[in-house]
Structure 1
Amino acid sequence: MNINASEFKAKCLKLMDEVATTHEPLVISKRGKPLVKLVPIVDETPKSMFGYMKGTVTIHEDILAPLDELWSAENSDEDDLYTSLRPGEGKK
């Protein structure tokens, strides 16, 4: 929305309330040239940290069901990685 500076001066309080409720910026012109833009202030900080990420996570499967694959600890795949940590082993 555009408005002339003299008209804005006459209706400034009403226009400020309108911008605050509609969240639509207002461009104020002087002699036909855009001069300033009036925009509402938006508070981007959440009121409470509790629940501010609600709706951002999607669960695709049952998160409590056991996995179909074995962990490395169950497979003994990585036993050679831990031999140096056992006392008396891995030192030559």
Structure 2
Amino acid sequence: MTKIMKASEFKAKCLAVMDEVAKTGETVVITKNGKPVAEVVPAKATERPSPFGIWKGLVEVKGDIMSPIDVEWDAMK
């Protein structure tokens, strides 16, 4: 169900309207001079994938990556 609200009323109750939309998921149409000009809709939940394991199955380790190497770096001089 969609709720219709005048722009002047929305201006006075903006934060409360946003809270109500988030809580109920109900869309609010904002009108100006009786004509719809905007909609307040609930945001889509977006889950970001975890960076841990993102390369699993795509990267292959060849050789020993844990043992020290016999090369001296310039930074160590």
Task: Give the match's secondary structure for 1:24.
Answer: coil
Runs of 5+ unmatched residues, structure 2: 51-77
More strand by share: 2
SS in 1 for 2:20: helix
Partner of 1:22: 24
Pick one of 4, 8, 11 that aligns with 2:10.
Answer: 8
Post-superposition Cα deviations, 1:18-63, rounded to whole Å, max 9, x if no partner, equal 0000001110000000000001112143777xxxxxxxxxxxxxxx
Alignment of 1:1-92 (within 5 A): 1-45=3-47
Q: Give the TM-score normalised by the residue count of structure 1.
A: 0.47
Q: Distance in 2 between matches of 1:11 and 1:45?
A: 30
Matched residues, percent identical?
52
Distance in 1 (CA, whole Å) between partners of 2:23 and 2:49 is 20
User: Counterpart of 1:11 in structure 2: which amino acid?
Assistant: K
Cα RMSD of the aligned pairs, angstroms, is: 1.7
Equivalent residue, structure 1, for 2:72: none
Structure 1's consecutive aligned runs of 4 or more residues displaced over 3 angstroms after TM superposition are 44-48
Q: Which gives a bigger RCO, structure 1 or 2 (Cα 8 Å, sep 6+)?
A: 2
